[in-house]
Structure 1
Amino acid sequence: MVTQRELPAGRYGSRDQRRGPRWVYWALLVVFVVVGLVVAYVAYVNLGDGPITTEPASYKFVDDHTTQFTFTVTRDDPSKPADCIVRTRSADGDEAGVREVYVPAGGAQRTVDTVVHTSKRAVIVEVYGCSYQVPPYLKNA
């Protein structure tokens, strides 16, 4: 026959003693879930696909200081103009040239041609990013 040993109450505490009201655990669980959902939503908005996407179409390194670049811009709101930043990089990874390109309103998808002048020979050209926040000096150009 197996008997259960009694533990000294002063040393280990009582088994019948509760740590706190049950509603505190549920409230903390709800707060934890809500905070998790908020973090997931913020990450989705900031890291998900943006309203403007680009895809390179073609490029040509004309000489050591000139690059021709064609890319396609797709917008979720074609009624708004956009501003895209195109940059080139040299073999050592330095930024060799940068140019802002105005993309006028109209058409959900538009092909854009540009020329980027560089400080040294470029080996790569890319669209750094696009935005609907077009600076005034580009609108008047």
Structure 2
Amino acid sequence: MLLTGLVVLAGIGIAYIGYTKFAVKDVEGKQIAFDIVDDRTMNIQFTVTRDNPSEPAVCIIRTRSKDGSETGRREVYVAPSDSDTVEITAPVYASKPPAMGDLYGCSTNVPDYLRAG
């Protein structure tokens, strides 16, 4: 009985992980490039594709130093548009010299403080 319960719980856990990792998302971001501007600034270029481009989105981009630690982070507001895919280049300001930049992720759950109003 206990073993059956554990197997059921493990199955539910695996199903949840599979769903969250591989489910179709309503917004997807892809990094294109990054460019070191100076010892405290990096431009990160990325695309955002939305199922419903009339809804805003938010993406988090960040810089990392040579040792891999995060040295800068920024939320980028992606305004509604007519196109499913938009390309954005945005600066991130770092606390230490940046060595690389990446797109952490995107969401349609935009915080109120990022919305124009």
TM-score (norm. length: structure 1): 0.68
Secondary structure of residue in 2 paired with 1:42: helix
For the pair 1:132 / 2:83, whether they are aligned, the reply is: no
Rg bigger for which structure?
A: 1
- Does the C-alpha gap of structure 1 residues 90 and 36 become closer, same or farther in structure 2, counting only changes over 3 Å? closer
1:6-64 CA-to-partner distances (Å, cap 9, x unmatched) read xxxxxxxxxxxxxxxxxxxxxxx9x9998787555423321115522222222210110
For the pair 1:91 / 2:66, whether they are aligned, the reply is: yes
Report if aligned partners of 2:57, 2:77 keep a CA contact under 8 Å in 1: yes
Output the amino acid matched with 2:45: T
Structure ranking higher on relative contact order (CA contacts 8 Å, 6+ apart) = 2
Percent identity over the alignment is 38
Output the amino acid matched with 2:52: D
For the pair 1:42 / 2:37, whether they are aligned, the reply is: no
1:105-130 CA-to-partner distances (Å, cap 9, x unmatched) read 12211101100011111111111111
The partner residue of 2:46 within 43, 56, 71 is 71
User: Aligned partners of 1:89, 1:36: CA distance in 2, in Å?
Assistant: 36
- Which residues in structure 2 correspond to 1:1-141 (within 5 Å)? 38-39=12-13, 41-51=15-25, 52-106=27-81, 107-140=83-116
Give 1:22's aligned residue: none
Greater share of residues in strand: 2
- Does the C-alpha gap of structure 1 residues 50 and 138 become closer, same or farther in structure 2, counting only changes over 3 Å? farther
User: Aligned partners of 2:6, 2:68: CA distance in 1, in Å?
Assistant: 43
Q: How many positions carry a matched residue from both structures?
A: 113
User: Aligned partners of 2:66, 2:6: CA distance in 1, in Å?
Assistant: 48
Q: How large is the Cα RMSD of the aligned pairs?
A: 2.4
TM-score (norm. length: structure 2): 0.81
